[in-house]
C-alpha cells in the first residue's frame, strides 16, 4: 500500500528533503501508511524515517527531525488520503432512503467511515470495520468514537439494519470499551421496535460498557417512503413513554455515577408536550450534534448576551427569524426576552412547514430554500431575515434543495443573514442598529 504525495508545504520540515510531488509515501518509522489516521498518528515523533517510492520505481529513505507534533508538511489528493467508506446497511429508518428524487448526487451517498468519526464527529455503525481497522483504533487509542448503536439485541440489530453482520459487529464495541476508549452512542428510536423493553436492554448493556454518552432521537419520517419498511412516527403518548424510560435511566445513572449519561433529543420533549430541562440538566451539552439541549443552550446564550447589553429604546426596526415547526414555540419565547430590553424592536418569528420532505419532518435543519420562499413571500420581513447555518450545506451557500441564499434574497427582497446557531450572534444581529 502507498499514498501519493500531491505537494510539499513550503518551509515545512519535509521541504528540501528530496521529496517531490508524485512520489508515494510507503512507511513512517517502519509503519505502513494507508490513510490519514496512519499519517497523523505516526508523524508526531521528533525523529522520522520516511520510505519513499519514486515514480521510476526507486526506493528512497528520508530522515526528518522536527518538533514533537509539528506537521510534517506533506499534502495529498484528498483529506482522507483514501476513498470515503460507504455504508453497507439498509436501515429500516435510513433518512437517505427517504429523500425525494432529483436532488444532487452527493446527498444520496451514505458514509460509514471510522476516520470521519474521529476527525469530524460522524457516527458509524461498526458493520464495515475490518479486523485491521479495529486493531488499529485500539492500538492508537483514538477516541472518542461515535457509534450508531440503535439496539444491543443482536437479532434486532440485524433486522433494523438489514445486515446479517450488524449483531456480531457489536463485538467491536465491547472491545473498544474493554480497551478504555471513550464511546459516544446514538439510538434512533422507532416506536414499537427498539423502544420500550428493548431500549431498557440497550441502556443496561451500554452501562456495562461504561460509555460516555447516549443520545436517543426519534425516527424522522419523510413523505417519500414508498416501498420502505412501515414505520409510525412518535405521538404524544409514545413520546412520553419513551421519555419516561430515558429520564428514569438518567436519574439512576446520575445517582450512581454522578452524571446522567443518557439524554433525549429536544424533539421528544416537544412531542410529549413537556417542558425542556434547564442548562444544569445537560451537564455541559455532550450531545448537541444529536439535537440534545439545543433549545436550552440557545436560551442560555441569549440570556447571557442580553446581560452584557444596555437597553436602547431608540432602536426602531423589524427583524424576521425563520425556523422549523418543531422549534417555533420555544424560539419565539426565547427571542421575546430581547424585547424586555429593546421594546421597540419588532421580531417576527416564522414557522416553516416542510413541504419539500413532507411526512413528519419539522426540524429547522431540514428547512429548504424553496419552502422559505413560498411561505415568506409577501410577509412583513423588515430589515433582514435571520436563518441558522444548519439549514445550509457545509459550505454555507445552498439549501438541501439547491436553492442558494442569494436566490432567497432575490425572491423575498430582503437581506438574509446566516448565523451559526449562536444566541450571542442572534442577539447581536437583532439588536444591531440599521
**Distance in angstroms (rounded) separating the CA atoms of residues 264 and 127:** 25
Top CATH class of 96-292 equals alpha beta
Q: DSSP letter string over 321-387?
A: EEEETTTHHHHHHHHTTHHHH-TT-EEEEEEE--TTT-TT---GGG--HHHHHHHHTTS--TTEEEE
In the CATH scheme, what is the homologous superfamily, with its name and number, of domain 3-76?
PDZ domain (2.30.42.10)
Q: How many CB atoms lie within 10 A of CB 61?
A: 10
Q: Residue 199 in contact with residue 161, Cβ under 8 Å?
A: no
**Distance in angstroms (rounded) separating the CA atoms of residues 186 and 154:** 16
CA 411 to chain centre: 30
**Distance in angstroms (rounded) separating the CA atoms of residues 358 and 372:** 14
Cβ within 8 Å of residue 344, ≥6 positions away: 313, 314, 315, 316
Q: Residue 209 in contact with residue 126, Cβ under 8 Å?
A: no
**Distance in angstroms (rounded) separating the CA atoms of residues 39 and 36:** 5
Secondary structure of 131-180 in the HEC alphabet? HHHHHHHHHHCCCCEEEECCCCCHHHHHHHHCCCCCCCCHHHHHHHHHCC
Bridge partner residues of 146 (DSSP) = 184
User: What is the structure's pLDDT at 434?
Assistant: 61
**Distance in angstroms (rounded) separating the CA atoms of residues 92 and 89:** 9
Helix (H, G, I), strand (E, B) or coil at 198: helix
Q: Which CATH code fits 298-431?
A: 3.40.50
**Distance in angstroms (rounded) separating the CA atoms of residues 127 and 108:** 19
Cis preceding linkage at 144, omega within 30: yes
User: What is the structure's pLDDT at 77?
Assistant: 86
User: What is the structure's pLDDT at 309?
Assistant: 81
User: What is the structure's pLDDT at 266?
Assistant: 97
User: What is the structure's pLDDT at 1?
Assistant: 64
Which three three-digit cell numbers place residue 42? 505516526
- The pair phi, psi for residue 28, each rounded to 5°, is -125, 120
- The pair phi, psi for residue 25, each rounded to 5°, is -90, 120
Cβ within 8 Å of residue 61, ≥6 positions away: 49, 50, 51, 52
User: Running along the chain, 434 residues long, what does each successive block of 10 average in pLDDT?
Assistant: 87 87 93 90 92 92 90 88 88 94 85 85 93 92 94 98 96 96 97 98 97 97 94 97 98 97 97 96 95 96 90 82 96 94 93 95 95 95 94 84 94 93 91 75
Helix (H, G, I), strand (E, B) or coil at 50: strand
Residue ranges of domains in the chain = 3-76, 96-292, 298-431
The region that residue 350 occupies, defined by phi over 0 for left and psi between -120 and 50 for alpha, beta otherwise, is beta
Closest CA to 270 of 362, 149, 395, 173: 362
What is the b/e burial string over 85-96, where b = at least 16 CB atoms within 10 angstroms of the residue's CB?
bebebebbbbbe
Q: Residue 233 in contact with residue 360, Cβ under 8 Å?
A: yes
User: What is the structure's pLDDT at 432?
Assistant: 82
CA 209 to chain centre: 23
Closest CA to 257 of 331, 216, 304, 203: 203
Whole-number Cα distances in Å, 382 to 188, 345, 375, 400, 404: 39, 10, 15, 25, 20
Amino acid at each position: 500500500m502507498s499514498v501519493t504525495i500531491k505537494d510539499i508545504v513550503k518551509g515545512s520540515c519535509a521541504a528540501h528533503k528530496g521529496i517531490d510531488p508524485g512520489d508515494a509515501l510507503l512507511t513512517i518509522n517502519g509503519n505502513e501508511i494507508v490513510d490519514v489516521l496512519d499519517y497523523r498518528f505516526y508523524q508526531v515523533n521528533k525523529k522520522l524515517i520516511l520510505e519513499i517510492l519514486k515514480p521510476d520505481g526507486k526506493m528512497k529513505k528520508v530522515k526528518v527531525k522536527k518538533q514533537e507534533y509539528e506537521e510534517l508538511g506533506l499534502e495529498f489528493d484528498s483529506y482522507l488520503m483514501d476513498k470515503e467508506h460507504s455504508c453497507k446497511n439498509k436501515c429500516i429508518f435510513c433518512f437517505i432512503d427517504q429523500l425525494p428524487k432529483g436532488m444532487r448526487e452527493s446527498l444520496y451517498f451514505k458514509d460509514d467511515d471510522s476516520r470521519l468519526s474521529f476527525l469530524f464527529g460522524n457516527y458509524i455503525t461498526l458493520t464495515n470495520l475490518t479486523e485491521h481497522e479495529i486493531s488499529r483504533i485500539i492500538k492508537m487509542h483514538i477516541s472518542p468514537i461515535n457509534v450508531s448503536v440503535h439496539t444491543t439485541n443482536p437479532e434486532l440489530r440485524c433486522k433494523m439494519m438489514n445486515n446479517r453482520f450488524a449483531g456480531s459487529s457489536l463485538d467491536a464495541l465491547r472491545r473498544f470499551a474493554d480497551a478504555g476508549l471513550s464511546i459516544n452512542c446514538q439510538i434512533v428510536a422507532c416506536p414499537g421496535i427498539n423502544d420500550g423493553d428493548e431500549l431498557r436492554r440497550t441502556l443496561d448493556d451500554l452501562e456495562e460498557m461504561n460509555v460516555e454518552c447516549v443520545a436517543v432521537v426519534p425516527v424522522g419520517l419523510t413523505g417519500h417512503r414508498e416501498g420502505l419498511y412501515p414505520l409510525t412516527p412518535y405521538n404524544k403518548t409514545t413520546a412520553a413513554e419513551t421519555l419516561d424510560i430515558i429520564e428514569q435511566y438518567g436519574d439512576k445513572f446520575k445517582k450512581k455515577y454522578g452524571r446522567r449519561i443518557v439524554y433525549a433529543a429536544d424533539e421528544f420533549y416537544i412531542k410529549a408536550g413537556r417542558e425542556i430541562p434547564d442548562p444544569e440538566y445537560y451537564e455541559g451539552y455532550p450531545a448537541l450534534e444529536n439535537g440534545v439541549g439545543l433549545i436550552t443552550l440557545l436560551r442560555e446564550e441569549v440570556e447571557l448576551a442580553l446581560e452584557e447589553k444596555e437597553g436602547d429604546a431608540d432602536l426602531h426596526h423589524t427583524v424576521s427569524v425563520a425556523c422549523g415547526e418543531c422549534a417555533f414555540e420555544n424560539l419565539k419565547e426565547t427571542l421575546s426576552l430581547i424585547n424586555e430590553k429593546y421594546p421597540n424592536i419588532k421580531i417576527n418569528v416564522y414557522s416553516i412547514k416542510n413541504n419539500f420532505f413532507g411526512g413528519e419532518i419539522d426540524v429547522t435543519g431540514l428547512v429548504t430554500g424553496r419552502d422559505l420562499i413560498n411561505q415568506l413571500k409577501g410577509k412583513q420581513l423588515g430589515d433582514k431575515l435571520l436563518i441558522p447555518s444548519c439549514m445550509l450545506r457545509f459550505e454555507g451557500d445552498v439549501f438541501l434543495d439547491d436553492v442558494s441564499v442569494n436566490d432567497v434574497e432575490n425572491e423575498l427582497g430582503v437581506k438574509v443573514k446566516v448565523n451559526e446557531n449562536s444566541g450571542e450572534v442572534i442577539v447581536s444581529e437583532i439588536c444591531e442598529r440599521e
